[in-house]
Amino acid sequence: MESKYSGYTREQLLERIADLEGQLNKTETDDSELKHKKTKKRDKQRPFDMSKYTKRKIALRVAYIGWNYIGFASQQDPERVPTIEDMLFKALKECRLIEQIDDSVDYTRCGRTDKGVSGLGQVIALWVRSKKLASDPSPGLLPPEEELAYAETINRVLPDDIRVLAWAPVPDDFSARYHCTSRTYKYFFSRGSMDINRMRQACQYFEGEHDFRNFCKMDPSKNIVSYSRLILSMKINPVQHTDTKSVGHGTDFYEVELKGTAFLWHQVRYMMSVLFLVGQGLEPPETIRDLLDIEKVPSKPDFPMASDLPLVLYDCEFKDLEWHYALKDTVYETFPPTMRTYLHFNEAWNMQMIRTLTYQYYLTRIGSFPAVMSDKSIKTIADLMSERKPKRADGTVVVPLGAGKETRMTKYKPVLERPRCDTDETKKEKYQIRKKRKLDTQEEMI
């Protein structure tokens, strides 16, 4: 089949090409101008006017994996010191739910989790924009089913390791900190050579109201008046849905479930540290009773904190809060928004499980490697691990710190015989002296 250009001369073809190139250039120019106009139009859009809307106070239930953050509470330096709150504040602003975090939003949090600690039941509260217009003359607040989809909206802009699970309408005077009736933590650990029954016996000493100054990190600048805290319950149970028997001896996992009304700085991790010593048979359960006796032990002996990785703020309880998990959580939907959140964490779980399985195969393979004994007999590494004791024949002691970490001591010294830090009163006195010295120096410089 002949082309329509078959009869064209060379000059006619060149002229036609030049004409087509001109049309193409004109189209590209028109497209560029159109894009520029659209961009210019967007740039000229008026800023979002928050005053057109009413506000309401809400609580948000937040879940987060804390491994990549320097704690929950903002340190006012998100680039250098990223925290969970920084990500939440950024998302709330981006969604035009707040303008700034200041006194006007009356922001409160249920608790401050440390660096690396995760949360499933963290709760925050603040004033946010409502869907109801300021010009709407109707009284009262919008019912939840007519309100903004707070959880879904915020989740669209949050990082993958943070999600809002639900929201609840709250009274104007609601405080996520002071209206919380209890907080529950979970701490996961592999059994190793620890005696779970001894640990359970020790947990009973923690229950009730005690002075926990020997199980926390003191900050004299906070001027804490009372270190008394109420532990409602402390239990140790096997972790459900895990079967690691084939991996090796002591690889079965347990969880400590700790419920209390409030906690001090690093309190749970210090409690776990001593609990591990009891489980190893290095301390009697009564050591915990003695450490809670402030007249007998007025200041904290020198012992380390347990790892942050296995600790999760599992739940925070409140009275009379009605949580809403989706905008239409009373209406049938083929794909509810909460399923999207489930699938999001399901993907992360699958990735972590694949990593776990990979490491498990490494352990089982290396566990089969031979090791020569002093009598020239052969044992496997798995055999040696099953025979491993907290105290070795040469006197070396192995002390677990959680998350598979451990420290070794050439000679173990009981906790109550170790050097002790300053008492609370001495720490506060020293802090005031340092503070006065700093002020005096600043005045001299002026």
pLDDT tens sequence across 133-143: 999 999 999 99
Angle 54-57-60 from CA coordinates, rounded to 5°: 125
User: Could you tell me the domains of the chain?
Assistant: 53-135+142-178 (3.30.70.580), 180-326+369-445 (3.30.70.660)
pLDDT, residue 15, reads 75
Question: Is there a contact between 176 and 109 (Cβ–Cβ < 8 Å)?
Answer: yes
Strand residue runs (E) in 228-307: 228-238, 253-260
DSSP string over 82-106: --HHHHHHHHHHHTTS-S--SGGG-
**How far is Cα 392 from Cα 412, in angstroms, rounded to an integer?**
11
Model confidence, pTM: 0.85
What contacts 85, CB < 8 A, 6 or more positions away? 72, 73, 74, 109
Q: pLDDT tens track of the chain, all 446 residues?
A: 556 666 667 777 677 777 777 777 766 666 666 666 666 555 556 788 999 999 999 999 999 999 999 999 999 999 999 999 999 999 999 999 999 999 999 999 999 999 999 999 999 999 999 999 999 999 999 999 999 999 999 999 999 999 999 999 999 999 999 999 999 999 999 999 999 999 999 999 999 999 999 999 998 888 888 999 999 999 999 998 888 888 888 899 999 999 999 999 999 999 999 999 999 999 999 999 999 999 999 999 999 999 999 999 999 999 999 999 987 777 777 878 889 999 999 999 999 999 999 999 999 999 999 999 999 999 999 999 888 888 777 778 988 999 999 988 888 999 999 999 999 999 999 989 988 888 878 777 76
Residues forming the active site: 114
Find where tokens 């040696």 sit: 384
pLDDT, residue 37, reads 63
- What are 275's two structure tokens? 């609990």
Task: Kindly report, residue by residue over 250-283, the tens digit of the pLDDT.
Answer: 899 999 999 999 999 999 999 999 999 999 999 9
DSSP state of 335: S
Half-sphere exposure of 36 toward its Cβ, with a 13 Å CA cutoff? 6
Which residue from 409, 431, 405, 388 is spatially nearest to 305, judged by alpha carbons?
A: 405
Bridge-partner residues for 234, per DSSP? 258
- What are 395's two structure tokens? 């006197």
Dihedral sign computed on CA atoms, order 306, 309, 310, 315: positive
The C-alpha R_g of the chain, in whole angstroms, comes to 31
